[in-house]
Amino acid sequence: MTMKKLLLLLMISCYAVAKDKPVPIWLETPVSFPKATKLSEHTVRIPFQLVGNLITVEASVNGQSGPFIIDTGAYNMVLNKRIYQANSNNHKTTYSVNQELNHVPEMIVHDFIIDDFEINARLADLVDLSNMERSKRSKINGILGYENLRRYEIFIDFYLEQITLFKINSKGNRLDEKLLTDQITDTLQFNRKGHSIVLESQLNGVEISFVLDTGAEINQLSSKVDAGILSNFDPLRRVEMVGMDGQGREVIAGNFMPFQLSNSISCEMMPTIITTMKFSRQAYGTKVDAVLGYWFLKNRRIIINYRKKSLYFALWPQ
């Protein structure tokens, strides 16, 4: 059977730390979100659009507007090297789940503001995202990662296709308690390992660890997991996966059959690929068995609180 080409994103997770300080780069104007609505001094709401299966919000840096991916699997902010130029001699290595990227330059971001709502953004990695743009047939200006999001409670609402950021205090409590009126139906504690959201579960009597990655277009399962876990995967075909570098890699595509993530949270059958996940430890800062991405999120309204290490599931309207 002819191998089909599967164009999907294995999200860059900027985990490696540069040895030297980056050269400061002056931003002509602050980063802004032209479509954001400021609900209060501490809360902002931003509509999102899907580019493929990627959650993107409109942002502007130095007069260059375009989509930025919301990615809990990435550590730093990433800017598209095709759009943002920097004369920096400081480089480092970054990783996706299955790929190593060398000699990635860094730049300093002085301000990241949504309608006077300041977002933490000090460093950004410059990466050529041209292959991703070609595969998506869309401009991609950059990526917002853990360092940009961790000081907020993040409400990713697929029903209304919007993201709400709530400023939180040192205990993880919202500074605007009254602005969240949605009914919470479930709560799930997670382990924060490195910058990653790790969910522990059991399947067929075998322990399994998932990383929740909002920048993953398709779920992934390590080829090295126990046979008891692999038995829940229904293989369909071999496909070629094209990564950030434009290189193809053969993977097995199929469906991960329904399972219980926790006593109260059920997961339906989800498209999944089996890969070696060779660089998962470097990409996520910890070893994991699988990645939950778009197909886990798309029918949910999820709130992420890094300080409380909690996921909250809001009611999906009938």
Q: What is the pLDDT of residues 189-207, one digit of tens each?
A: 999 998 999 999 999 999 9
Q: What's the rounded mean pLDDT across residues 138-143?
A: 94
Q: Do the beta carbons of residue 46 and residue 35 sit within 8 Å? A: yes
Report pLDDT for 23.
Answer: 36
Phi, psi (rounded to 5 degrees) for 146: -55, -45
Is the pLDDT at 264 greater than 60, yes or no?
Answer: yes
Is the pLDDT at 270 greater than 60, yes or no?
Answer: yes
CATH of 11-167, one of 3.40.50.740, 2.40.160.50, 2.40.70.10, 3.40.50.720: 2.40.70.10
Residue 244: pLDDT band by 50, 70, 90 thresholds?
Answer: low
82 or 16, greater pLDDT? 82
Residue 291: pLDDT band by 50, 70, 90 thresholds?
Answer: very high
Query: If one looks up domain 179-314 in CATH, what number appears?
Result: 2.40.70.10
282 or 259, greater pLDDT? 259
Enter the DSSP assignment of 93.
E
Beta-bridge mates of residue 240: 5, 250
Rounded to whole angstroms, the Cα distance separating 32 from 61 reads 7
Report pLDDT for 109.
Answer: 58
Q: Do the beta carbons of residue 94 and residue 104 sit within 8 Å? A: yes
Q: Which residue has the tokens 């829940």?
A: 232
Residue 21: pLDDT band by 50, 70, 90 thresholds?
Answer: very low
Highest mean pLDDT among 22-26, 122-126, 269-273: 269-273
Instruction: Give the DSSP per-residue string, 152-194.
Output: EEEEEETTTTEEEEEEB-TTS-BS-GGG--SPEEEEEE-EEET
103-107, 267-271, 276-280, 314-318: range with lowest mean pLDDT: 103-107
Please give the biggest Cα pair distance in the chain.
Answer: 58
Domains of the chain, by residue range, sit at 11-167, 179-314
Query: Cα–Cα distances in Å, from 88 out to 107, 120, 267?
Result: 7, 21, 45
Report pLDDT for 284.
Answer: 86
Give the list of residues 6+ apart from residue 44 with CB closer than 8 angstroms, or none.
Answer: 33, 36, 37, 38, 114, 115, 117, 164, 165
Report pLDDT for 118.
Answer: 64
Report pLDDT for 273.
Answer: 96
Residue 122: pLDDT band by 50, 70, 90 thresholds?
Answer: low
Report pLDDT for 298.
Answer: 97
Average pLDDT, the chain: 83
25 or 241, greater pLDDT? 241
**pTM for this one?**
0.85
67-71, 152-156, 275-279: range with lowest mean pLDDT: 275-279
User: Model confidence over 23-57: pLDDT tens digits?
Assistant: 334 444 556 778 889 999 899 999 999 999 999 99
Give the list of residues 6+ apart from residue 274 with CB closer than 8 angstroms, or none.
Answer: 220, 221, 222, 223, 230, 233, 235, 251, 252, 254
Report pLDDT for 105.
Answer: 61
Report pLDDT for 314.
Answer: 98
Phi, psi (rounded to 5 degrees) for 100: -110, 130
Residue 71: pLDDT band by 50, 70, 90 thresholds?
Answer: very high
Q: What's the rounded mean pLDDT across residues 152-156?
A: 97
Report pLDDT for 2.
Answer: 40
Residue 242: pLDDT band by 50, 70, 90 thresholds?
Answer: confident
Report pLDDT for 111.
Answer: 52
Q: What percent of the chain has pLDDT over 70?
A: 76
Give the list of residues 6+ apart from residue 134 with CB closer than 8 angstroms, or none.
Answer: none
Q: What percent of the chain has pLDDT over 90?
A: 58
Let me know if the fold of 11-167 is the same as that of 179-314. yes
**Of 5, 57, 62, 56, which is closest to residue 30 (Cα–Cα)?**
62
DSSP three-state, residue 231:
coil
